[in-house]
Structure 1
């Protein structure tokens, strides 16, 4: 396959001893069948390996969680099936995935790694802990906030959290939304945590009418300051994935395929780079931004936005890596055929080769995690370790 154009960077990153990235080749990923194939720049697996991370990617269109891992210098694209996976929250010890009608939470049980049937030694094993039934609320982005999992409830135009009694508990809604009804009035979709609290959200419009956001997709997008409940920026094109990082508010202006910052004083979006796809899904690691791209389908949802004017064959689906210090693209992985749309991209720190188990009944049924106090009480009475 012909290599895609790639802007090389001569900058040495500030993370450890990472060398400058200069490769611009695309290599075929041979780990999966043709329908799930991908191509990538030759430096992509080395980048993951040197950072000591794995990338988690959800594609609701293909119904999969993708784990992008480095396997001794080869990119391993590992798939796990879910029902319409969208929002992701991840740290070294837990992963949460929002699906069509549920939120699934997985915890890392390192002792279970030795029980995995694999030729490669895993350094993390995420097993299911909590499944919460939300109903069809179109869960979008999510994050742990003071140990509560807060998520964007798009159908009800609010932020919500889980409940032991209810499908969800609303915790905030925009000032222009009059009541909690499943009308997807403004298509609330993204959230940014700042100083330990949800501080900013994105929506595709400021309508209080059912599906009212659809009337002005091209430039009706808004950024809302949750604390003041005021609109902080207007005129955005289907914005997604606001993030507070390194003292700045970053945002994907998805309809234009761009990535940049919001000048909060002026309420103005300032693009840094434009990419060949519908930008959605954003995560940072040091000076690097990992950005999801989607081809976007030829449907009414995406008509009338700038990225839809780009011929389909020029639109890409995958993850692009941007160096914030130089504004250059330094690597990418591009999915082909079956995977055409991406929702979330999250860095899983501290793990180069993790596993997530959601279908191995024997392993899930015979691996136990108990409180440390219980294990201490059982010491000397038998093998009490997890697994």
Structure 2
């Protein structure tokens, strides 16, 4: 018997941690073309809300704004608790609602990490091996490229993929190698990864196994070594590396709330030549989310997908949100929810007139 879409299993600690922290999670899965919101119903169970965003990758979150990198667009959304409360389909069910407010037509850049910073949106432009800004002026504005990249070209030369922010600016970046030719990273993909300082380009750590999701926390630079199932901490001054956590799975996508890290796990693609180089023990791990207690390095909760989700790119914590909603531009509902600086309105499907709340 076929399982329902997005069927999953989770440990008691997974729902309990979300409930106790008062948070929800947003995950992106480019393979399924979805952003999925996971929220605690209580300490024993969760509820999921999947929305369609074509090839969803990096998710940026700052206060009431969210941005999602998709196949050839970056979609910017804004949260409205008032629209959530009066949502006609389910009144008084949701406590927050992210509504589409703007689209940037980037073209196919293979954007990976995406973050809000000083002056706008910053993105990792993997096809062009650079960091860039996304705005209404151009498809992208390059702001930095590794010193070993000789020119901008849509050739994915080093598989630049991750970006850690500091004081509103990119501070560190990850790549699979230091090559300067098209897809030069493929032959040594599990052994040649680097963490670089931005803007100097100084290599902080090298010889890494497919590094993803660098994050700068007070304790140091945290990065996931996807092909080794390792959460690594790096001292930015000395380059000293410390293993914080190990798991036999392809780790990618990470966010933090207090003492807890939420880490994505992707299922290994059997058809992928790149994934074929990864240890066979990883190939049994399902896609899902790990909850790691950072002070102890212990796994305290886990969710595993049985259906629909196989590859996760990003995870974001939605603090203070116990039942958020998100609208995709593919849903007609988003066109009926209107917000002004002074009031919000839901239009009726059968009438053109808009009724104030």
Fold-level similarity (TM above 0.5)? yes
Partner of 1:300: 273
- Note the alpha carbon deviations across 1:332-351, whole angstroms, 9 max, x for none: 11112321111001101121
Q: CA deviation at 1:45?
A: 1.9
The one of 87, 111, 134 aligned to 1:162 = 134
CA distance in 2, matches of 1:275, 1:161: 34
Partner of 1:343: 313
Contact 1:63 1:84 in 2 (8 A): yes
Partner of 1:247: 219
Contact 2:227 2:250 in 1 (8 A): yes
How do 1:1-387 and structure 2 match up within 5 A? 34-73=4-43, 74-113=45-84, 114-118=86-90, 121-298=93-270, 299-305=272-278, 308-310=279-281, 312-313=283-284, 315-358=285-328, 359-361=330-332, 363-372=333-342
CA distance in 1, matches of 2:52, 2:25: 16
Q: CA deviation at 1:49?
A: 1.7
Pairwise CA RMSD: 2.1
Residue 74 of structure 2: SS of its match in structure 1? strand
Q: CA deviation at 1:263?
A: 2.7
Contact 1:92 1:348 in 2 (8 A): no
CA distance in 2, matches of 1:37, 1:364: 26
Partner of 1:17: none
Query: Structure 1 residues 122, 320: CA separation in 2 closer, same or farther (over 3 Å shift)?
Result: same
CA distance in 2, matches of 1:209, 1:57: 32
Query: Structure 1 residues 82, 62: CA separation in 2 closer, same or farther (over 3 Å shift)?
Result: same
Contact 1:369 1:386 in 2 (8 A): no
CA distance in 1, matches of 2:356, 2:181: 51
Q: CA deviation at 1:100?
A: 0.6
Q: CA deviation at 1:81?
A: 1.1
Q: CA deviation at 1:121?
A: 1.8
Q: Which runs of structure 1 show a deviation greater than 3 angstroms over 4 or more consecutive aligned residues?
A: 384-387
Query: Structure 1 residues 106, 266: CA separation in 2 closer, same or farther (over 3 Å shift)?
Result: same
Q: CA deviation at 1:385?
A: 9.6
Matched positions, count? 344
Residue 334 of structure 2: SS of its match in structure 1? helix
Q: CA deviation at 1:268?
A: 3.9
Contact 1:58 1:343 in 2 (8 A): yes
Q: CA deviation at 1:266?
A: 3.7
Q: CA deviation at 1:296?
A: 1.6
- Note the alpha carbon deviations across 1:94-134, whole angstroms, 9 max, x for none: 11110111111110122211124227621101110011111
CA distance in 2, matches of 1:53, 1:104: 23
Residue 18 of structure 2: SS of its match in structure 1? helix
Partner of 1:14: none
Contact 1:238 1:253 in 2 (8 A): yes
- When normalised by structure 2's length, the TM-score is 0.91
Contact 1:160 1:171 in 2 (8 A): yes
Query: Structure 1 residues 156, 102: CA separation in 2 closer, same or farther (over 3 Å shift)?
Result: same
Residue 166 of structure 1: SS of its match in structure 2? coil
Contact 1:370 1:386 in 2 (8 A): no
Gaps of 5+ in 1: 1-31, 376-383
Residue 339 of structure 2: SS of its match in structure 1? coil
Residue 339 of structure 1: SS of its match in structure 2? coil
Q: CA deviation at 1:367?
A: 2.6
CA distance in 1, matches of 2:356, 2:124: 34
Q: CA deviation at 1:166?
A: 1.4
Residue 364 of structure 1: SS of its match in structure 2? helix
